[in-house]
Amino acid sequence: MAVTDRDSRFWDRVARKYAARTIADLAGYERTLEATRRYLRPEHVVFEFGCGTGTTALRLAPSAARFMATDLSGEMIVLAREKAQAEACRNVEFAVASLEAAQWPDESFDVALGFNVLHLIKDRPAAIAGVRRLLKPGGVFISKTPCIGEMNPLIRLAIPLLQAIGKAPYLDFVSGAQLERVIAEAGFDIVERARHGSKRKDTRAFLVVRKA
């Protein structure tokens, strides 16, 4: 079974519980949304991968012409569609898809988004290359990634144990510097880097990069 198959089953299993969780750092989340909106235009076609239950897509959709949001988990997408229908949001489409099997033609999108997902991808260079393929020339890729390699060592020790009992998906202990390097090697120029957390230390790297 491929890693993506295992992980899609994991996220299907926890989707309802995940949807019920509150955002731990709401102020930091709002700062991320505001920073992202600065790069969106009313005529833009936007692609998001790892959209989960669609909360962020629905918050950002009013700033774009059309929004395609995808996730590996069918259960997550079911919940996202329910939210979109409840909010009568008509310019967002939710689909079950992976970057590896993305069916959209090259250069289909103005902006690509990947929030809280790059640390969950085993072949990150291939995934970022997939993002680059989908972007138009000069297109922007915006991401925010928990950098587990910068977290408390006790957390890093606990993760393999949680994975062994099926309580955690694949996670990579990436650092902010490693993330920047692999994105630059894929052919992107870094436009903005930030940490939006409200607490003293924020291990979630926010990056805005442009297709070179």
153-172 mean pLDDT: 84
| Cα gap 38→160, rounded to integer Å | 38
pLDDT exceeding 70 applies to what percent of the chain?
A: 98
Taking a C-beta distance cutoff of 8 angstroms, is the pair 71, 49 a contact?
Answer: yes
pLDDT score recorded for residue 194: 97
- CA 81 to each of CA 39, 94, 116: distance values in angstroms, whole numbers, following the listed order: 25, 6, 20
- Looking at residue 6, its pLDDT comes to 78
Q: Which range is most confident: 4-18, 141-155, 183-197?
A: 183-197
CA dist., res. 152 & res. 174, Å (int): 13
Residues 174 and 180 sit within 8 Å (Cβ to Cβ)? no
- Least confident interval from 3-12, 30-39, 179-188: 3-12
Flag whether pLDDT at 5 surpasses 80: no
Task: Judge whether residue 134 has pLDDT over 90.
Answer: yes
With vertex at residue 135, the alpha carbon angle to CA 129 and CA 140, rounded to the nearest 5 degrees, is 100
Query: How many C-beta atoms lie closer than 10 Å to residue 206's C-beta?
Result: 22
Q: What is the model's pLDDT at position 126?
A: 93
